[in-house]
Amino acid sequence: GAVVSQHPSRVICKSGTSVKIECRSLDFQATTMFWYRQFPKQSLMLMATSNEGSKATYEQGVEKDKFLINHASLTLSTLTVTSAHPEDSSFYICSARKPGLAPGELFFGEGSRLTVL
Amino acid sequence: EDKVVQSPLSLVVHEGDTVTLNCSYEVTNFRSLLWYKQEKKAPTFLFMLTSSGIEKKSGRLSSILDKKELFSILNITATQTGDSAVYLCAVVLVWGAQKLVFGQGTRLTINP
């Protein structure tokens, strides 16, 4: 089966620093990856759609200068939380669609738990 | 505003019981409805439903979609402790290139 790998799984940083989270599709090429945020006991909220070779598409209310997304290759998308603050602490999950499968049959990464002190 | 609502938010039952989880939606451009199981980290795909009235089945799990009444149910029979998880319902929108809108999830706990 397809595997999506996310790294790091857990990161703690100081307020004001930037943190980069990587999402890799290990055995398929993904032209599109998605980034979600999940608060405790809440559902996944789509933050942005990452498109290989072009700019990401952000959902309403998500600051693109705060959450920088880069999809430089067909197997890697990165999310950088810039100048992180405690309110950015959350669980961030990426997903990717394997070409040939139906929309929605996404493979999710294991998530990255960010804690900003 | 596109909306997906799940109920109940939380459910505790005994092993062997049968449970029904509900998902209703109100979206502008429906394409399909998905069910995922989230145990600790990444959600895992269970079902995708596109047509009304056609039951999808996988072992003790089954699901059906009603596009007229805009809802879906997920049934789990003969529950086991390993079924304990958060079950997420999501709707795929036509506009937005496979954009998913998730419900809040139902936290299911199966007690031995």
Task: State the pLDDT at residue A113.
Answer: 94
Residue of A nearest to B4 (CA): A43
Q: Give the gap in angstroms from C-alpha B46 to the nearest C-alpha of chain A.
A: 9
Displacement of CA A78 from its chain's centroid (Å): 7
- Residue A104's nearest CA partner among B54, B36, B83, B76 is B36
Question: How many Cβ pairs closer than 8 A exist between chain A and B?
Answer: 60
CA-only gyration radius of chain B, Å: 14
Higher-pLDDT residue of B28 and B69 is B69
Note the pLDDT of residue A1: 58
- pLDDT at position A105 is 74
pLDDT, one tens digit per residue, over B31-42 is: 899 999 998 778
Q: Does B41 touch chain A (CB under 8 A)?
A: yes
CB contact under 8 A, A93 and B42: yes
Query: For residue A98, what are the contacts with CB-CB under 8 A and spacing of at least 6?
Result: A2, A25, A28, A30, A105, A107
pLDDT at B107: 94
Please tell me the distance from the alpha carbon of residue B41 to that of residue A111, in angstroms, as a whole number: 6
Residue A78 pLDDT > 70: yes
Residue of A nearest to B40 (CA): A110
- CB-CB under 8 Å, A104 with B90: yes
Smallest CA–CA separation between A93 and chain B, in Å?
7
pLDDT greater than 80 at residue A71? yes
pLDDT of residue A22: 96
B45:A43 CB<8 A: no
Instruction: List, for residues B70-102, the tens digit of each pLDDT value.
Output: 999 999 999 999 999 999 999 988 655 567 889
Which residues from chain B sit within 8 angstroms of residue A9, using beta carbons? Answer: 41
Please indicate whether, in this complex, the C-beta atoms of A41 and B107 are within 8 angstroms of each other. Answer: yes
Tens-place pLDDT, residues A6-62:
999 999 999 999 999 999 999 888 888 999 998 877 788 889 988 888 889 898 899
Per the structure block, which two tokens stand in for B78? 């003969």
Q: What pLDDT digit, counting tens, does each position of B46-56 carry?
A: 999 999 999 99
Supply φ then ψ for residue A16, to 5 degrees: 100, -15
Check CB contact under 8 Å for B98 and A32: yes
- Residue A20 neighbours by CB under 8 Å, 6+ apart: A78, A79, A80
Distance from CA of B44 to the nearest CA of A (A): 7
Q: Which DSSP category does A15 fall into?
A: T
DSSP B59: T
Mean pLDDT of B18-25: 98
How large a percentage of chain B has pLDDT more than 90? Answer: 75
Q: Which residues of A touch B96 (CB under 8 A)?
A: 49
Q: Which two tokens stand for residue A114?
A: 């960010």
Closest CA to A112 of A74, A79, A69, A64: A79
